[in-house]
């Protein structure tokens, strides 16, 4: 995957800085085309990143999954006040409830601290209705102030 500068008026983050940002429990905003009417969609999602792909889940019957199955071309953004990463990617939907549950558990620990809270347990139960989403970037463009 290619790394590049997002804005020539700012500085590029090095790979360690990109990794540090992507390991924070912040949202990834995922842009896609709505399968129903062709309009643009942007959804904030929980994710984790393993230096190759982003991993997320969504309801198997939801608009994200339907849209990504029809058109896997996406754009993503992860940012905070003074830095960020964005890029183009391909999203792959995997209809495997056990894999989706594994990703859900990973993200619950990442965002909520554990899978033991009532909210986490409820989300794990609901994950039987989820599909896994793997997002493989073509490139990442970064910036920092």
Query: Angle CA(51)–CA(55)–CA(58) in degrees, nearest 5?
Result: 165
pLDDT in tens, the chain (145 residues): 899 999 999 999 999 999 999 999 999 999 999 999 999 999 999 999 998 999 999 999 999 999 999 999 999 999 999 999 999 999 999 999 999 999 999 999 999 999 999 999 999 999 999 999 999 999 999 999 9
The answer to whether 134 and 53 are in contact (CB under 8 A) is: yes
Give how far Cα 46 sits from Cα of 1, 70, 145, Å: 22, 22, 25
Query: Can you identify the CATH homologous superfamily of domain 2-144?
Result: Electron Transport, Fmn-binding Protein; Chain A (2.30.110.10)
Enumerate the β-bridge partners of residue 85: 78, 142
| pTM for the full predicted model | 0.94
């Amino acid at each position: 995957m290619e790394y590049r500068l997002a804005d020539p008026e700012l500085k590029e983050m090095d790979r360690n800085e990109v990794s540090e940002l992507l390991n924070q429990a912040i949202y990834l905003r995922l842009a896609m085309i709505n399968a129903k009417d062709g309009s643009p969609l942007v959804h904030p999602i929980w994710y984790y990143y393993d230096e190759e792909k982003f991993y997320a889940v969504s309801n198997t019957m939801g608009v994200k999954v339907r849209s990504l199955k029809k058109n896997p071309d996406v754009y993503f953004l992860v940012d905070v006040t003074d830095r960020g990463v964005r890029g183009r990617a391909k999203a792959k939907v995997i209809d495997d409830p056990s894999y989706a549950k594994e990703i859900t558990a990973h993200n619950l620990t990442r965002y909520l601290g554990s899978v033991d809270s009532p909210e986490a347990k409820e989300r794990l139960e609901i994950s039987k209705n989820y599909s896994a989403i793997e997002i493989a970037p073509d490139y990442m463009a970064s910036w920092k102030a």
